[in-house]
Amino acid sequence: MTDEGTDAGLWLIGLGPGDLGMMAADAIERARGCEYRFLEGYTATLPEEEEARLESVVGKWERVMRPMVENPEKMLAKAKETSVALLVVGDPMQATTHIDLESRCAEQGIDFSIIPGISATSLAISVSGMQSYKFGRQVTLPFAYGEYLPTSPLELIDANFVNNLHTLVLFDLDPTGMGVESPQPMNPSQAVDMLQKMFEKMVEGEGAVRESMTVPLGSWDGILLSDLGTREQRVVSGKLEDLSTVSGGRIHCLILPAEFTGMEREAYERRRPHR
């Protein structure tokens, strides 16, 4: 054990969705007790003001980006001897990269512990007013990389819709796809434009518009959720063509509803902007 009382090994610690005030007491205690603290900075990010006060909450820390997390030899070498915290915004096991870390620790006989945090995924469903049991598979909407534009996100959205399931759409954070530079999160205008381009590519590839997608994409219902778990949190419902014009905010995601229940329709209407 370290002098501070935290066992040696790798500790994956959830910081919560953005406001450090939502960080669990156990997460703070364990992070403070670790010899080394690394903030993972590419699957999610803290608001600037929260990042600025992170040291006062948990102690000194160092940022790590995708290369060090996906090739974690240096971090694991430290974890063999002492306590190492990998601080992750949201819930640490939401990303497959972090699941890989558990596997690596098991192979090398390194103790591995998880302290969950509140995730934007669970918050989005909670504050949307939609029923949690009516959600299908969640989707990440990526930037187009060069000429490469996958249509699989829209295909999954359509599959959920056909099965009368809502879809939570997470927006990409990194236009480069490399996870090295500071993230530049996708905004609502870019997201709707990306969905439209995917739709057009699907029609071209399939030779026709799917029966389930005959309504123009801009007329689809949506719920835009911005900066969840922070003081700037905002939830707005409306047609996609209107949501695409929403400005401001830092991190966004989108819910594309299937058929509403009566209470869900009322919740959706309450989230429309005041006219």
The token duo for 27 is 């997460």
Helix, strand, or coil (residue 239): strand
Q: How far is CA 256 from CA 43, 72, 94, 260, in A?
A: 22, 37, 21, 11
Q: Is residue 229 one of the residues assigned to a domain?
A: yes
Helix, strand, or coil (residue 170): strand
Q: Is residue 257 one of the residues assigned to a domain?
A: yes
Q: Is residue 33 one of the residues assigned to a domain?
A: yes
Do residues 169 and 75 both lie within one domain? no
Do residues 155 and 217 both lie within one domain? yes
Which of residues 118, 151, 174 is at a domain's end? 118
Do residues 96 and 174 both lie within one domain? no
Q: Are the C-beta atoms of 49 and 21 separated by less than 8 Å? A: no
pTM of the complete model: 0.89
Structural domain of 110: 9-118
Do residues 155 and 245 both lie within one domain? yes
AA identity, residue 223: I
Those residues with Cβ within 8 angstroms of residue 113's Cβ, 6 or more apart along the chain or in another chain: 7, 9, 10, 11, 12, 30
Do residues 78 and 186 both lie within one domain? no
The token duo for 113 is 């512990």
* Residue 135 to residue 166: CA distance in whole angstroms: 5
Do residues 257 and 125 both lie within one domain? yes
Q: Is residue 2 one of the residues assigned to a domain?
A: no
AA identity, residue 152: S
The token duo for 271 is 């989230």
Alpha carbon dihedral 203, 205, 206, 211, in 10-degree steps, equals: -20
Q: Is residue 38 one of the residues assigned to a domain?
A: yes
Work out how many domains the chain is built from and give that number: 2
Q: Are the C-beta atoms of 33 and 83 separated by less than 8 Å? A: yes
* Partners of 254 in the β-ladder: 169, 224
Do residues 85 and 135 both lie within one domain? no
The token duo for 207 is 């030779």
Please report, for the domain that includes residue 43, its CATH number.
3.40.1010.10
Q: Is residue 3 one of the residues assigned to a domain?
A: no
AA identity, residue 272: R
Tens of pLDDT along the chain (275 residues) come to 344 568 899 999 999 998 999 999 999 999 999 999 999 988 888 999 999 999 999 999 999 998 999 999 999 999 999 999 999 999 998 877 788 999 999 999 999 999 999 998 899 999 999 999 999 999 999 998 878 899 999 999 999 999 999 999 999 988 776 666 777 899 999 999 999 999 999 999 999 999 999 999 999 999 999 999 999 999 999 999 999 999 999 999 999 999 999 999 999 999 998 65
